[in-house]
Amino acid sequence: MPLGATEIRETFLRFFEARGHQRVASASLVPQGDPTLLFTNAGMVPFKRVFLGEESRGYTRAATSQKCMRVSGKHNDLENVGRTPRHHTFFEMLGNFSFGDYFKREAIEYAWELVTRGFGIAPERIVATVFREDDEAHELWRTGIGLPAERVIRLDEAENFWAMGDTGPCGPCSEIHVDFGPKPGCTSAVCTPACSCGRFLEIWNLVFMQYDRSPEGKLVPLPRPSIDTGAGLERLAAVIQGAPSNYDTDLFHGILARAQELAGVERGADPEQDVSLNVIADHARALTFLIGDGVLPSNEGRGYVLRRILRRAARHGALLGLEKPFLHHVADAVVDAMSSAYPELHERRAYIVDRIEREEGRFLETLANGLSLLEDEIARLRQQGGTALPGAAAFRLYDTFGFPVDLTEDVLREHGLGVDQAGFQTAMEAQRERARAAWKGSGETRVGEVHARLAAELATSFHGYETLSFTSTVRALIVGGAPCAVARAGDAVEVVVDETPFYAESGGQVGDRGEILAPGGRVEVEDAQRPTGDLVVHRGRVAQGEIRVGESAELRVDAEARAATMRNHSGTHLLHAALRRVLGPQAMQKGSLVAPDRLRFDFTHDSPLSREQILAIEDLANAWIEADAAASVRQMAYPDAIAAGAIAIFEEKYGDQVRVIAFGPYSTELCGGTHARATGEIGLLKILSESGIASGVRRIEAQTGLGALAWLRGREALLERAAGLLRVAPAELPERLERLLEERRGLERELESIRAAARGAASRDLGEAAREIGGVRVVAARVDGVDPKNLRAMVDDLRNRLGSAIVLLAAEAEGRVSVALGVTPDLLERFRAGDLVREICGVLGGKGGGRPDFAQGGGPDATRLDAAFQRLEALVGGA
């Protein structure tokens, strides 16, 4: 029995644990604090800062099985998926890492031992590639391992040199490939792993991070070279299980079985159907893991990628003849298959399945709408004698109706038509440009050069949990973006010191404000931020005198603002806990803002909260406030904290040691923020509003303590003002208003009947003014001050009154003319209201249209009204 995927994953992690590596859980697919990346696309991503030396962990060797997505940016495998046996959108990357610990020799020896002995892959099937200039790695494979010369291949920079970015850590790499023997169709003279015939499968890449590339492009050797490796679990499983493709491994077995059962097709019968089944299986995994990590469908950024993947999968379902939403059933099978390794899926199963079902349902609806729009476009194209749908129209279908262009093409082909592909691409490119611009704005700001340089030398330590004032040395001043030795009165300045009591904005809690007292001046601090690393900058203005680098200064936090912030932060924790009690654990935090004067809490939930739910949440939170539970703050290891029931926030990044805040038995959260000493300090928690901010995301705004009191007083004042206006006591307001509304409805009815009577009189007069033109009775009149609805009623009135006539009424209001025109049934053979109105509105410089018996329109030019009437006479007379 070959190893199953679960055993392969476990064997890998145990192998490295036995060699001194720390096993670290997979990070989220949403990268933390890295605005340059949409998704985690390799095992090293969560360790970037460790490799850069900006962060240290309690270990120098680590091993992971990391969730990865390759659907955007430099690594985009989306188009390959389903067509190659080896590429996925979502996959698991197994990796071992050395942070300045072991290097090339051990990395190669470990990999060789694990692949050949641990996984039992025959040594003679292995081919290693090395970077052309990396003699050291070549030598290690040749004499250290003993691979024959023809199976150690030197390749170019394109294949075997890896870099984190244009500058920074980089180095040669060495890939381990499995040889499946010559392929019949191969056209290369000498087939190597660089050939695309499919003979070789890359299973593992070992990256030797040994240089730092300077901005000028120079390679400077790193003092402590590091190792980063990545092996695709799906590919390893395929090799070990002797499967012809990743899809034939046990990882996909249950998922494909579900897809086949739903579609009623068998794999192996038709190659195109196999592609569809593979795509569905692959994409269902991606959807499940993405939603599990808090990504929701949207029109931009990550949510847009998610949406596209879902539509692509739904479209392949349609190709297999599936008509109803089905992907959620496949996702259910994904949870079955993967939740032992990723327990978060199990916990969120219902939520994931539900999101997918809704999104697919919505897409299938728009699919129908899009199809009918496309029918209209086809009719128009026919009329104009065109052969290709304009790119803009195809793009509109794609953009508004989520209509994949290949589907548009399919439908058009049935009519012998095509799509203007170039025009479509142009429209698409313009959209991408917009998306890029939007994406840029939504990320975190890039670390400024100056901050990065300072952070390399300085770390600010934080004392603000214990004290609100602290004396420290001024280490740097930044004015106008540049470091300087002194800042003077009026300067906007950033102050950096060794030690600070100021809390720098993080975890939703805003930065502290306060003041810095230097020997010769005073800085008013408006905000404290941590732009990078452990560097804290105090932002503000020199209010008086000057401040110099090297001076000793006293930092004082605004105690009142801080206390209000702490009440709000603790209030946020109670609110979070109460929400989960009332709504269930799928109400996950998506964001929060904690300021001195307000708090805001965003969470995942599908529908608006009912009044009962809001009251229940408020009641719970306030009961816990009354209980006056003391805050307890503990440091503990992350897994222990989770085991103790602490709520970890999605998309939040945690070190190995975490700070846990608990309020009695009510709330336990991982949090670095500052808090009240006991819940009683919060005083009162009042929910002010609850609203939707994005699909599936709700927002609660609330107030605590004196802020809540101020809000209640504001409400009270409003009520009193309204009661004063109506001259009643506040308690009588609703009744009084009801009566007023009833009276108003009566008055409206009365007004309407008076209007109708007036219309009747007016149309009697107009009817009498009818003229005969070429044997047809025509009324053409101006009735200013009548709105379009009443205009229509008058036209109807006149048509009935006259029996046989053409009636044109025009009214001017605010520099615009509205016209309405009716034709009685007996004249319909000769005149069409729509055609007449089009002509008349043309004269007025506007547009109009409608049915044969009635049409409406208008135009901006009231001075042309007489000309418009003459035009009508001419049209009738000339007919």
Residues that bind ligand ATP (CB under 6 A): 70, 75, 77, 87-88, 91, 93, 202-205, 230-232, 234-235
Distance, CA of 242 to CA of 769 (rounded, Å):
95
Which residue type does 534 have?
A: D
> For 25, which DSSP code?
P
Assess contact for 37 and 69: CB atoms under 8 A: no
Of the candidates 794, 859, 784, 860, which has an alpha carbon nearest to the alpha carbon of residue 821? 794
- Torsional sign, CA 718, 724, 727, 729: positive
Shortest CB 40 distance to ligand ATP, Å: 12
Which tokens belong to 156?
């170019």
Which residue's CB is nearer to ligand ATP, number 2 or number 852?
A: 2
Place of tokens 């091993």: 63
What pairing do the DSSP bridges indicate for beta strands 552-557 and 499-500? Answer: unpaired
Assess contact for 133 and 109: CB atoms under 8 A: no
How many CB atoms are closer than 10 A to CB 324?
Answer: 9
Which residue's CB is nearer to ligand ATP, number 288 or number 500?
A: 288
Give one DSSP letter per residue of 360-401, joined into a string.
HHHHHHHHHHHHHHHHHHHHHHHHHT-SEE-HHHHHHHHHHH
Assess contact for 179 and 127: CB atoms under 8 A: yes
Which residue's CB is nearer to ligand ATP, number 77 or number 139?
A: 77
Helix (H) or strand (E) holding 818: strand 816-823
Rounded to the nearest angstrom, the gap between the alpha carbon of residue 569 and the centroid of all alpha carbons in its chain is 26
**Backbone region of residue 301 per phi and psi (left: phi > 0; alpha: psi in -120 to 50; beta: other values):** left
Assess contact for 168 and 212: CB atoms under 8 A: yes
Shortest CB 91 distance to ligand ATP, Å: 4
Shortest CB 41 distance to ligand ATP, Å: 8
Place of tokens 């104009």: 384
Shortest CB 308 distance to ligand ATP, Å: 16
Distance, CA of 827 to CA of 223 (rounded, Å):
95
Which residue's CB is nearer to ligand ATP, number 77 or number 113?
A: 77
Shortest CB 138 distance to ligand ATP, Å: 19
Shortest CB 20 distance to ligand ATP, Å: 23
Shortest CB 94 distance to ligand ATP, Å: 9
Shortest CB 350 distance to ligand ATP, Å: 28
Which residue's CB is nearer to ligand ATP, number 282 or number 690?
A: 282
Which residue's CB is nearer to ligand ATP, number 115 or number 609?
A: 115
Which residue's CB is nearer to ligand ATP, number 70 or number 569?
A: 70
Shortest CB 70 distance to ligand ATP, Å: 5
Which residues sit opposite 849 in a β-bridge?
856
Shortest CB 339 distance to ligand ATP, Å: 20
Distance, CA of 565 to CA of 512 (rounded, Å):
9
Closest residue to ligand ATP, based on beta-carbon distance = 232
Shortest CB 21 distance to ligand ATP, Å: 18
Shortest CB 36 distance to ligand ATP, Å: 17
- Count the alpha carbons within 13 Å of 52 in the hemisphere toward its beta carbon: 19
Shortest CB 860 distance to ligand ATP, Å: 59
Which residue type does 195 have?
A: C
**Backbone region of residue 280 per phi and psi (left: phi > 0; alpha: psi in -120 to 50; beta: other values):** alpha
Shortest CB 88 distance to ligand ATP, Å: 4
Start-end of H helices in 685-807? 705-726, 733-768, 788-802
The most distant pair of C-alpha atoms in the chain lies apart, rounded to whole Å, by 113
Shortest CB 382 distance to ligand ATP, Å: 44
Distance, CA of 794 to CA of 783 (rounded, Å):
10
Which tokens belong to 833?
């209201």
3-state helix, strand, coil in the chain (%, to 5): 45, 25, 30
Shortest CB 175 distance to ligand ATP, Å: 6
**Residue 267 three-state SS:** coil
Q: Which long-range contacts (CB under 8 A, 24 or more apart) does 703-707 make?
A: 703/598, 703/599, 704/567, 704/568, 704/571, 704/599, 705/564, 705/567, 705/681, 706/564, 707/564, 707/568, 707/597, 707/598
Which residue's CB is nearer to ligand ATP, number 68 or number 497?
A: 68
Which residue type does 546 have?
A: E
Shortest CB 235 distance to ligand ATP, Å: 4
Which residue's CB is nearer to ligand ATP, number 97 or number 401?
A: 97
Using a 10 angstrom Cβ sphere, with 0-12 exposed, 13-18 middle and 19 or more buried, the burial of residue 79 is exposed
**Residue 350 three-state SS:** helix
Place of tokens 């399919």: 410
How many CB atoms are closer than 10 A to CB 191?
Answer: 16
Which residue's CB is nearer to ligand ATP, number 55 or number 77?
A: 77
Using a 10 angstrom Cβ sphere, with 0-12 exposed, 13-18 middle and 19 or more buried, the burial of residue 399 is middle
Alpha-carbon distance values, 377 to 401, 424, 854 (Å):
14, 15, 26
